[in-house]
Structure 1
Amino acid sequence: MSNGWHCPTVMMYGGDELAAWLGTRTERSVTLLLDEGIAGAAIAASVRGQIERAGRTARTVVTGGSGNLTTVTGLARQLADTELVIAVGGGSLLDQAKLAALLAADPGAEDRLRVPQRCGLILLPPAQHRGPRLVAVPTTLGTGSELSAVACLAYPQGKRLVMGGSLRPDAAVIDPEATATLPYALLAEGLLEVLFRIAGQYAGDHRDLPTEDALAEALAVRAVRLGAGLRSADAGLRAEIAKISGLSHGGWVLLGRAPYVGKGWYLANELSTGLGLRKMTAVAALLPPLWSAIAAGDTRLGSARRLDRLWRLLRTAVPDAELPEDPGPGIAALIDSWGVGREITADPAELTAVARSSVRAWGAGLPMLDGLRAGDIESLLHRAVPTKTSARGELTLTACG
């Protein structure tokens, strides 16, 4: 979602690299920020040990809960007197750390996050700066938050996407130990999120960019091949998923891409929020009909030519899977083979509300869903989500479209 190049995050891969990196730094006051779910896990002890070996004593802050503005501002106050934050947790925790580090340096930035607006995107000024340096240690796969310049922030109206170069962490640690206890379902969801992000940017853009396309194709193919080994995932495979997750967020993969081409993200975000679903459940349900619509020629959603090219590459990457030739049924079969659940239902009125909220937050003059009306979105949602109808007190399921 970026057209420019930013100073890249320093990457470290397991081992004792964090301790070595800290040994080169001048910051002395360190805060270890832990997701409450992993505070007693081995990765927390490992990171704490590396901080100590680097000659630092870290103050530990354990946090949880949703990433809303109240949580983030409270966290920012706790980080106000620290020079370096090492955040260990999932995508939500890392997003909170990125925003809190920003507010710790510039409390005035809070005003921008509080400005009433219908748009679901908040852009930070290019000159916006962060105070404490930030190291991200992800304990989940797929979000790529450790390398991205974006963060999700919860509001009463739904999630908003905050974007700005000041949110990009200074360094990130990819350690297989951090994902050692992830259940299979979260591994599969994480890999699907990576593929969803890469394919959305690739097929959503109608232009050919030879170098950028080649890199995106390579990452998408790599994701699908890694999926073939998910059932017996070891530390090496988890590290590889983490690598492509981060790479999918920037650099040459996105350089020069038209902004806001990944329409599926905005729709999946609203579907997830509106129905109270896990993000990747919404993605898994939405992706097959979205790709079918693109393949059928809906140029507002993406390029049929480019989607066909990408899908042919993905099919040949796993020939034993015998995936259908059509992209829509094909991605549905791939999702099912990975075991990511996509069976959800909703009332028709709920889908109408999701369609309207999508237009309010991302369309109706805003560029993210430009050209899509509420009726267009509702029709797509009906193809993704069977609707519940009540007849004589009995519940039946009607698969629309």
Structure 2
Amino acid sequence: MKKKYYLFLSFIIVFTNCWAQFDFRDGYIIKLNRDTIWGKVKYNITSEKYESCSFKTDAGVKNFKPDNLLGYGFKEGNFYISGIVDSTFSEVLVTGPLSLYKNDGTFYVKKRDQEGIMLEKKDELVDIDGISYNREDNRWKGILRALTSDSPKRLDYYIDDLNYDSKDLTWIVVKYNKNTDKSYVEYSAGKKWARITWGATTGIKQSTIRFFNYGSFDFLEEETIYYDPTFGLVFHVNSPRLNDNIAFQAELFYTPSRFTSGKNISYNYYEEQHRTDFKMNVLTLPLSMKYSYPVNRNFVFIQGGFNYDIQLNSTSAHSAMRYWENGNVYPAVEPLQVKIDETQFGYWASAGYEYSFDGFSASLQLRFNRMSNMVKNAYLIGKTNSVSLLLIVYTN
């Protein structure tokens, strides 16, 4: 089972990377002679954005290395320049009296007319009384204290509490620049660090349950298909400042399921008619990652993650009648109860289209689920696959 989950995650990652190859957005390049040319720039979510720039015009797509450009950027705000780190592009977070850059997870600061300085965060191994410990190396904070020591307002007590991430470092550099009363530019300032939206969803779910009988449950159909309504709430969070393609989504679904598995079994002198009625109330918690590809103001997206199902008062009832050749009818063998497990685990994937409106957005998606064994009887396995058509409405 674990192998299937790993294969599923690998598929989502590879498929997302393949899809990202087609994501070109309005942007520009700055040539070595300082000419700016507008066109379409490939939007990368991997470290490739620091290594090269793919630029598309009516003449086609051309790839540029850092040695061929002064920089490139997007109309939406992200901007990258060469020259901060040899043979790579660096993302420009802030420019001003004190500038901040990011290069593949490492940050650089630069005072005007000075060389850039790397803010390196690493752990160092220390030995205390013969016992080795990993200790965080905070020399990057010392560099910031030295570079901001000329601020009219003290910043060292803020620096002590900084985290080594884009948000905190951007904040302290902007604060320094404001204190100096000199102009600065914070790129992507119009984008939020975190954007949280809520939504509601409803849809129809087609489920297929397959029973694998290794004992006395031959009265169950090998395969049963049934349809149920489903309702839920959606919690959606992403960071437009860091990457507006990728989002985390948590959901809560309630699905009332009612279905029957019936089977007739013929013997020499009689026939048995079996009926098993299932009544299940399922609370589902899906957790997923979502990748969206912009199409004008709308989005095409793929999504994948894991499900955790909780059975709420779910039961089954088995009945059987024996029909003899002489016309007599009697109850058959003692009914056998299918015991439904309280929880199941599974994985899922979906694809859909999201429409943007004033004040809200709505998505229509097709979702596939595969769940673990739902019964806890010995010698019986019941596995469910489902396909859902869902409508989700988000607040903006």
**TM-score range for the pair, normalised by the shorter chain length:** under 0.3
TM-score between both structures, scaled by the size of structure 1: 0.21
TM-score between both structures, scaled by the size of structure 2: 0.21
Higher strand share: 2
Higher helix share: 1
Which has the bigger relative contact order, CA under 8 A and spacing at least 6?
1
Query: Is the radius of gyration larger for structure 1 or structure 2?
Result: 2
